[in-house]
Amino acid sequence: MDIKRQERAPIYEALEEFKKKRVVPFDVPGHKRGRGNPELVHLLGEKCVGLDVNSMKPLDNLCHPVSVIREAEELAADAFGAANAFLMVGGTTSAVQAMILSTCKAGDKIILPRNVHKSALNALVLCGAIPVYVNPQTNAKLGISLGMEIDQVARAIEENPDAKAVLVNNPTYYGICSDLKSIVALAHSKGIKVLTDEAHGTHLYFGKGLPISGMAAGADMSAVSMHKSGGSLTQSSILLTGRDVNADYVRQIINLTQTTSASYLLLSSLDISRRNLALRGEESFAKVAQMSEYARQEINSIGGYYAYGRDLVNGTSIYDYDVTKLSIYTLDIGLAGIEVYDLLRDEYDIQIEFGDICNILAYISIGDRIQDIERLVGALEDIKRLYSKDKTGLLSGEYINPKVAVSPQEAFYSQKKSVRIMDAVGAVSGEFVMCYPPGIPILAPGELITKEIAQYIVYAKEKGCSMQGTEDPAVEYLKVLEQ
């Protein structure tokens, strides 16, 4: 990485020059630097709406960058150790989908864990690729999916030698990492591409003592959520590619679905955040890891909670652990994770990332302070004292292995009927059902609905999980394939 060159932020610099020129706007957006929408100016400020501008020659164009955006992407590639980088304004959802659409066509096979984000399965609906699931082990107590074991991947490749790609979560939402380097070496030896979903792994490129990043492991493509741990604005992400990927073709795939009106607020935030991480990332993420480890120790000293970390590492299904993730098991105080999540927000004005059936996740990043950590620890101690109860009857388990009956695309576009959830047992799902966050489907189109899955959906809904994916807003009915 060329540190001197990383001091540049070309999109930011071009916007600064643009501001000085007092250009009269006869283009879009129609608010005309906020003059047409004073309430928006009041909410966001003159500086913000004044930089909400359209593509023009001095500011380049994201669909076909030739100047400042092109330079910003080259700087991002250099910072992340990639051959090429693409600035994404549709979130990491669009980056994940671009990876899959660039690699797979209708009928192609892709090997992936079932605990992928819905964006990956949506891509299969779009392109018609066939999933070959490496169903990961689960931790019976914590109720979470573990990593992809190398022998499982080897078996999947042996049984499906025509697969086009392997997709790996690096890390999972909960911080668990697979043996990525070995998976890459194995897949490449068979001529198969490796794609990494690093929605929760921006910091792996800059921090020391953290799990290996996708590009460092030799992956072909990686989707990175800069807005999560990297500090950019929500919805801004980066897609990275390796040396053996046709970057011009990837750009064409991105342009199939990405907006032609890219937000310069998002683009400049990516530019500035990349510079910040390149220059100060190692120091910043050292503090994040230190704060997370401190929080882990303090929470475990309360009793009743289990803030897990590197102690889980076993070298196979949990090859490594991302210590910046503060994942906390809550069932031993008699409360589901989603119940603790709700209490923290409603009673203590603390908004954490998510709560599921067994766990909560507090996202620690470059913007946190030690006093915030102490406030969270104090609130958890309070919740245990005031709200803990007998845990009898609580379900454990975030993940149930599904059986794929038909491809996601075929199921999504099939004739369907609507039935009550418990009456859907034995049928094939025609839609997604998930708790969001984290957005990992409980059911995906084409999967068989078992009694266990149906009961889990009802339980998660009763506990207060935010349910998504169904056509029915109340999530009382499911769309299933007509027999």
Could you tell me the CATH number of the domain that includes residue 285? Answer: 3.90.1150.10
pLDDT at 140: 85
Per-residue model confidence (pLDDT) at position 60: 97
pLDDT of residue 399: 60
Choose among 409, 326, 311, 412: nearest CA to 110.
409
- State whether 82 and 222 are in the same domain: yes
Are 170 and 239 found together in one domain?
A: yes
Give the tens place of pLDDT for each residue, 155-170. 999 999 999 999 999 9
N-to-C CA span, the chain: 58
Q: Is the pLDDT of residue 395 over 80?
A: no
- The residue with tokens 């590639």 is 77
On whether residue 317 sits in a domain, the answer given is yes
**Residue 241 pLDDT > 80:** yes
pLDDT band, residue 398 (cuts 50/70/90)? low
Q: What is the pLDDT of residues 175-226, one digit of tens each?
A: 999 999 999 999 999 999 999 999 999 999 999 999 999 999 999 999 999 9
Asked if 226 and 119 sit in the same domain, the reply is: yes
Q: Is residue 17 in some structural domain?
A: no
Going through 303-363 in order, the beta strands assigned E by DSSP cover 306-307, 320-321, 325-329, 354-355, 359-363
Are 379 and 423 part of one and the same domain? no
One domain, residues 89 and 167: yes
pLDDT score at 125: 96
> Same domain, yes or no, for 177 and 244?
yes
How many angstroms separate the CA atoms of 479 and 471, rounded? 7
Which residue, among 271, 268, 288, has the nearest Cα to 279 in the 3D structure? 271
- At 287-333, the pLDDT tens digits run 999 999 999 999 999 999 999 999 999 999 999 999 999 999 999 99
Tokens describing residue 252: 């064409």
Residue that has been written with the tokens 């959520």 in this structure: 225
Domain CATH for 138: 3.40.640.10
Query: How far is Cα of residue 133 from the mean position of the Cα atoms in its chain?
Result: 19
Do both 288 and 246 map to the same domain?
no
Q: How high is the pLDDT of residue 208?
A: 94
- Choice between 168 and 403, residue whose per-residue pLDDT is larger: 168
Q: Are residues 253 and 379 in the same domain?
A: no
Q: Is residue 236, in this structure, part of any structural domain at all?
A: yes
235 shares its domain with 367? no
Q: What per-residue confidence (pLDDT) applies to 306?
A: 98
Task: Give the total number of structural domains in the chain.
Answer: 3
* 232 and 305 share one domain: no
- Is residue 273 in a domain? no
Residue 18 domain-assigned?
no
pLDDT at 436: 82
Q: Give pLDDT tens digits for 84-109.
A: 999 999 999 999 999 999 999 999 99
**Structural domain boundaries, residue 170:** 60-260
Average pLDDT value for the chain: 95
Q: Give me the pLDDT at residue 397, please.
A: 65
Calculate mean pLDDT across residues 74-87.
Answer: 98
Q: Is the pLDDT of residue 373 over 90?
A: yes
Both tokens assigned to 58: 């001095």
Please tell me the predicted confidence (pLDDT) of residue 5: 94
pLDDT of residue 483: 76
Give the tokens for residue 208. 């020391």
Task: Tell whether 238 and 126 lie within a shared domain.
Answer: yes
Looking at the chain, the whole-number percentage of residues with pLDDT higher than 90 is: 88
